[in-house]
């Protein structure tokens, strides 16, 4: 793990008995200093530092947010642990599909038991699920042992909330409906020393009819390009070679800035950062993907050969009901154009099965699309009804058996296509960023190609974080076994 402390803020120099500053991030550093006093007192009484455990549900955005939570906890003196029986446990939740919510409720039962055996233990919940009023009602009623609940918009206030919860009996809840704030320069604890996610924007304005994200993450806000560049420069100075630019719809980046800039222009600026070797981004909305972006990717030495381009459905009728604002034909044309311009690119996608009103014929169109576009990988999801979204009120919800049958059929085609696509590179030498020692065989290390394919090669931990040429010897379905050359 590796920590980024942005300003020269030295917590020792902060006057903790003064009034808290109004401006950010100074206010949060003040509360970090207060929390650290609390931690020291804990240490004095217990003869050890308090431990913390974070659990992330959901997407890369949440993973990055959790790094921010860890950064603050470590800064104030907590010690990270892999055990859920920690002094402070925080779940960063997801609510994009109902099974994510169910997993959280399931784990909470376990936490309640741990808490009974460690009365000092504190439990916190944050993230997308907390933005739903029905969830908060349920937590208040059935899970009263939770100490702290906050949402997506005020995560930057975590230090302040943590300190306030030390001082509060019972459940502290702070949920904001929306925000236009972006607070820069808080500490972050990275999971990987050599790669990092970077938020370039927050929220979403698209309101796809099935999706809860715009309601729980709020309206689209872009970060200033100079802040993004400054953050990446600091990361590179700290050993990062690969960045993943994160946003719900990166293709509409920059539109709401005082000095508007396009995503393609931002990428060109990021490309100039010396020492940075790889650039990834997620997620692209097909309706906003520009020719400029394709051109910039094509001539780039650093942008990875991978595009995640959610399809959701291959039926124009369903796409319209989903409010996706492209047709089947427009998507095909776009995918063809991308493959023509950048032949070695991998295209991956997200697909939903069982959207209200979807017929077997609609699903056939989706399956046909998978064969046509030849996705290198696809994440397939069963439609999940999200309260408050327009699709939840649609009448013709599809029966579960029909969905399951269609899902299995789609999955088989997705897997066959992906296997074929991955196998195309057998025998080639390509560059891989080595990420970790293989989990099941310690004589191997695991790397990632520019096109996001995984390769396992003989080697040891000294290779981690390095980009090395590897020979792709044997294709095993979705990954390769190879060797460094």
Q: Considering only residues 192-211, where is the footprint of ligand SF4 by CB under 6 A?
A: 204, 206-208, 211
Instruction: Pick what 214 binds: ligand 5AD, ligand SF4, none; C-beta below 5 to 8 Å, kind-dependent.
Output: ligand SF4
CA distance 130 to 136: 6
Residue 345 binds to ligand SF4 (criterion: CB under 6 A)? no
Residue nearest to ligand 5AD (CB): 350
| Per-residue DSSP letter, 22 | S
Judged by CB, which is closer to ligand 5AD: 21, or 214?
Answer: 214
CA distance 481 to 458: 9
Strands 278-282 and 242-246: parallel
**Nearest alpha carbon to residue 185 among 221, 156, 153, 150:** 156
Strand order through the sheet with 346-353? 306-308, 346-353, 377-382
Instruction: Pick what 204 binds: ligand 5AD, ligand SF4, none; C-beta below 5 to 8 Å, kind-dependent.
Output: ligand SF4
Q: How far is CA 180 from CA 139, 219, 228, 256, 375, in A?
A: 27, 8, 17, 11, 36
From the list 21, 193, 214, 458, which residue makes contact with ligand SF4 (rule: CB under 6 A)? 214
Instruction: Report the alpha-carbon angle 430-432-437, nearest 5.
Output: 140
Nearest 5°: phi and psi at 316? -60, -35
Residue 390 binds to ligand SF4 (criterion: CB under 6 A)? no
Judged by CB, which is closer to ligand SF4: 148, or 155?
Answer: 155
Residue 101 binds to ligand SF4 (criterion: CB under 6 A)? no
- Name the residues that contact ligand 5AD, by CB under 6 A: 96-97, 210-211, 310, 312, 350, 352, 381, 383-384, 386
Q: How far is CA 101 from CA 92, 104, 105, 237, in A?
A: 11, 5, 7, 38
* Crossing angle of the two packed helices 360-373 and 400-423, in degrees rounded to 10: 10
From the list 115, 157, 285, 306, which residue makes contact with ligand SF4 (rule: CB under 6 A)? 285
The neighbouring-strand residues paired with 481 are 456, 474
Residue 445 binds to ligand SF4 (criterion: CB under 6 A)? no
Measured from the CB of residue 249, what is the shortest distance to ligand SF4 in angstroms?
5
Instruction: Pick what 97 binds: ligand SF4, ligand 5AD, none; C-beta below 5 to 8 Å, kind-dependent.
Output: ligand 5AD
Strands 2-4 and 201-202: unpaired
Instruction: Pick what 206 binds: ligand SF4, ligand 5AD, none; C-beta below 5 to 8 Å, kind-dependent.
Output: ligand SF4
Judged by CB, which is closer to ligand SF4: 54, or 389?
Answer: 389
Judged by CB, which is closer to ligand SF4: 356, or 482?
Answer: 356
H/E segment holding residue 381:
strand 377-382
Judged by CB, which is closer to ligand 5AD: 70, or 95?
Answer: 95
Judged by CB, which is closer to ligand 5AD: 225, or 310?
Answer: 310
Residue 213 binds to ligand SF4 (criterion: CB under 6 A)? yes
Specify whether the CB–CB gap between 56 and 90 falls below 8 A: no
Chain positions contacting ligand SF4, by CB under 6 A? 204, 206-208, 211, 213-214, 248-249, 285
């Amino acid at each position: 793990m590796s920590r980024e402390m942005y300003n020269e803020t030295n917590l020792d120099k902060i006057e903790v008995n003064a009034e808290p500053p109004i401006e950010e991030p100074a206010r949060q550093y003040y509360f970090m200093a207060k929390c650290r006093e609390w931690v020291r007192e804990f240490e004095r009484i217990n003869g050890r530092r308090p431990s913390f455990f974070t659990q992330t549900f959901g997407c890369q955005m949440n993973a990055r947010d959790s790094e921010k939570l860890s950064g603050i906890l470590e800064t104030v003196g907590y010690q990270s642990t892999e055990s859920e029986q920690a002094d402070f446990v925080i779940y960063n939740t997801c609510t994009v599909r109902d099974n994510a919510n169910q997993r959280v409720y399931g784990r909470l039962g376990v936490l309640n038991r741990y808490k009974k055996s460690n009365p000092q233990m504190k439990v916190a919940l944050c993230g997308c699920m907390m933005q739903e009023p029905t969830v908060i009602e349920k937590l208040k009623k059935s899970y009263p042992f939770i100490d702290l609940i906050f949402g997506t918009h005020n995560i930057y206030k975590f230090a302040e909330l943590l300190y306030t919860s030390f001082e509060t009996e019972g459940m502290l809840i702070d949920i904001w409906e929306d925000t236009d704030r972006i607070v820069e320069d808080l500490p972050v604890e990275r999971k990987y020393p050599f790669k990092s996610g970077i938020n370039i924007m927050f929220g979403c304005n698209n309101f796809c009819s099935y999706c809860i994200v715009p309601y729980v993450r709020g309206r689209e806000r872009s970060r200033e390009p100079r802040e993004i560049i400054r953050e990446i420069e600091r990361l590179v100075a700290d050993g990062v070679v690969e960045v993943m630019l994160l946003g719900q719809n990166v293709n509409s980046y920059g539109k709401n800035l005082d000095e508007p800039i396009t995503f393609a222009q931002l990428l060109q600026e990021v490309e100039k950062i010396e020492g940075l070797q790889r650039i990834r981004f997620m997620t692209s909305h097909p309706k906003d993907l520009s020719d400029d972006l394709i051109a910039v990717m094509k001539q780039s030495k650093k942008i990875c050969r991978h595009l995640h381009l959610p399809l959701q459905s291959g039926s124009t009728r369903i796409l319209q009901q989903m409010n996706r604002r492209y047709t089947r034909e427009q998507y095909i044309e776009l995918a063809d154009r991308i493959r023509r311009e950048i032949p070695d690119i991998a295209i991956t996608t997200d697909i939903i099965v069982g959207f209200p009103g979807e017929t077997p014929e609609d699903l056939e169109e989706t399956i046909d699309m998978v064969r046509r576009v030849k996705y290198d990988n696809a994440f397939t999801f069963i439609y999940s009804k999200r309260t408050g979204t327009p699709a939840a009120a649609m009448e013709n919800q599809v029966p579960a058996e029909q969905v399951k049958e269609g899902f299995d059929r789609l999955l088989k085609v997705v897997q066959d296509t992906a296997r074929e696509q991955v196998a195309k590179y057998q025998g080639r030498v390509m560059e891989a960023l080595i990420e970790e020692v293989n989990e099941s065989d310690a004589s191997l290390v695991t790397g990632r190609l520019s096109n996001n394919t995984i390769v396992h090669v003989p080697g040891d931990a000294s290779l981690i974080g390095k980009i090395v040429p590897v020979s792709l010897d044997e294709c095993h379905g979705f990954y390769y076994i190879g060797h460094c050359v």
